[in-house]
Structure 1
C-alpha cells in the first residue's frame, strides 16, 4: 500500500457512470474517508479521448489515455472499471489484479462471459493472498441485490430469483400497458426520453438481462452460470394484442429474468432464462413502473424478499460503485479480503426444454363444432393439461385463448407446433409464458 492512511484510486472510463464516480469521490471525500478508514485519493482517470465532453469535471492532470499504464502503476491500490465491454476491460482488470490492486467493476457483460477467469485471478492476486473483485453495480444499478445474495442469505437456501432487471424494456412494456401503444411507438418514446439507446438491441433482445441473470444465478446457487447458459428471448415480438389479452386476465407483461433451483431425477439443477411473461397484477413485480427495476427472491428460511429501485443511470450506478469501493478499501486497511466467489455446488444448468412453465396461447380457429375438443386433444397428446380456455369472437373472428397448467417447455413447444399444423387452426397468434399464480 502506498500510504498507511491513503489509498489511491484509478478510474477506468469517464462516461455517464465514471463521471459520477469521479464527482462523488471529490465531493464526498471527507465522508468517504471516515467510512473507509483511509483517504481515497483519485490518482488517475483513463479515457479514450482527452477532449470528450464529460458530465463532471476531472481534476487537472488526472486524465490519461494510457489505461494499462495507469492500472499497473505501483502506487495504485484500488481500480474502478466502468468502461464496459469485453476488451480491453478484461485485460485491464487482470492487469490490475496482477499488480496487487483490488477491483470494483460494473461490467455485467464481462462477468457473465468470463467471470471464472476474473474470480480466479482475484483469488491468486497478491502472491496468493487474494484481492477483492466487487461488482454490485453490474446488476440493477443502485439496488443492493448481489451483496444480500452473497452474504446476507449465505446461511439460507435460495430457491428462486425473479426479476425485472432492464429499465428500458420495463419502460416500453409499461407504456404499452398503460397507453395501448404498439412496441415501435413505445420504443420511439423510450429513445426520445433517453431510456433507450439509438441501437436498442442489447436491451430489447434480452442480452443485457441475460447477462444479469447469469450473475444472479451464479450467486444464488453457488454455480458458475454464463450468459450462454441463459435462455434468452426479447420483447420485439410482443404486440399490443398480447398486452391487451394480459390485461383481460388481470395480468401485465414484463420481461423477466428467472433463475430457479430445480429438483431433477439426477439431483438439483439450475434453470436460468429471460423472456417476456404474463404475471398477475397482484404480484409485487406487476407494480414496477417506468424504468425501475425490482428483484424478487425466494428462499427456504427467509421466505419472499423484494428489492426495488432505480436500475440504471449515472448517479444511481455510481452509488453502488462507491459502496463497493468503500468495502474494498476497508478490507485493504484491515489486510483482509471480502467473500470470494462461491461455486462449490457446481450444479448442472438445465436446457430450456426441461424448464417447467406455463403458456398462454392465442389460437385463430375455424368456428365449427368440435373445435375446442380437437384443440384440447392436441394439448393432451403432449401431456399438457389446460387450466383455462375462453373463446373470443365468432365466425371468421373466432379465437381461442388457452392457458395451460405447468409442463416442460419442450412439451408446450411441441403442442404449439402441433396446433400450427392442424386444419382447423388458421394461425397461432400469440404464445407467451405465464408466471406467478398457479406456479
Structure 2
C-alpha cells in the first residue's frame, strides 16, 4: 500500500507538471495489480512467467526482470513513446531501475530517487548520465516526501521538455582524456580543434571517464580521438584505483576511427589516502621513478618504474596492433605529466623547488626520462610497424610543452581530413630517430 501511494502520487505530480505518466512494474516478489505495464508484461519479453521468476531468490529474479524491462523500455524508446524515465526505490529498486536506465542512450532524461544516493553511487550510474536524487525517506507519504516527489516530477518533465537543439549545428566531435597532470596539453589541443570547427569532449581520466569514452566511441558519437591521458591503463595493470578496465584503448581501433595517443599520466599509479596505498608500492618508493606524491588528503600517487612502464607498453602494443584505422602513438621523452619533470616549471605544471616527485633521469641522456626510453623501446619492439596505418613518434619534448600538443593535434587533423600518411611529421627537429634510443 505504501508503494502504491507514493508511486501514484509521483505519477500524479508528473501529470500536473505536464507529463503523461506510465507506471512500469519491476517487482521481484509479487505482482502489484495496479501498474500500467505489469510485471507479467515485462517478463513476457524474456519468455518468463511470474510463477517462474518469483520462485527464485531475489538476486536471480532481479536479473531476469532487468533483462525484460530493458527490452520493453527500449521498444518504447525506439517507438518514440517515452521522453524520460524516473524511478523511486531502495537498493533493489535502484539496482533494477538504473540497470534499465543505463540501456538508454546518453541525453535521454533519467532520474533515480533512492536513499542509496547518499553513498557510493558508481554501481548505479556506471557510465551514463543518470541523475541521482536523495529522497530523505525510504517510505511514507507526508509533507516532507510529497515536496521531494513533486520536485522529482517537475525535474524529469522539465528535462523531457528541454528546448530542442535543432537550431545548433552539430560539429564533428573529438574525444579527449584529461587528468590534472596533463591539463596544459589537453587545453591547448582542444583550442586547436575548436578553432577549426570541431567540438571537443574532455573526459576526466578517473576510470569512469575512460569507460564512458569507450562507450561514446562505440556508439558512433566520436569522429576522432586525441587520447592524451592514458594512465587508467597503468592503474588497471598495476593495481591503482582509477582503472577503466581491460577495454580501455579498444573502441577506436575496433571501429577504425583516427586516434592519436600519448602516455599522459602513465608515470603515476593512483590511490586514495596514504594509508590505503598497498605496502608492495610503499616499500618501493625509494627506488628510481617510484617516488611518493601526496596530491591531497584523499589522493596519493606512486611513481611507475621504468620496468613497469615497459610492461604497460606491451599491453598498449597489443591494442595498437589490432587497430583498423589511422593510429599514431607519440612518446614525449622529457616527461609524461606535471609530476614527471627534471626541474621546476610552472608552465608545465610543477612549481618545485625540486624535480617532479616521480622523475627518473636516463643516465645516457639526463635531460630525458629513463621511463620514456624503456617504454619507447618496448613499444617499438612489440608494435607491428609493417602496418601502414600505425606509426610511432619519439618526441624530444615534455608532454605539456606546446609543441607536443600541436604535434598530436596536427596528426589527428591530417587523419580526419584524409591527408595523413605514415611518417608524417618525422622531419621535425625534435623527433628522435630510432638509432638514438
Q: Under a length normalisation based on structure 1, what TM-score does the superposition of the two structures give?
A: 0.29
Which structure is higher in RCO with an 8 Å CA cutoff and minimum separation 6?
Answer: 1
More strand by share: 1
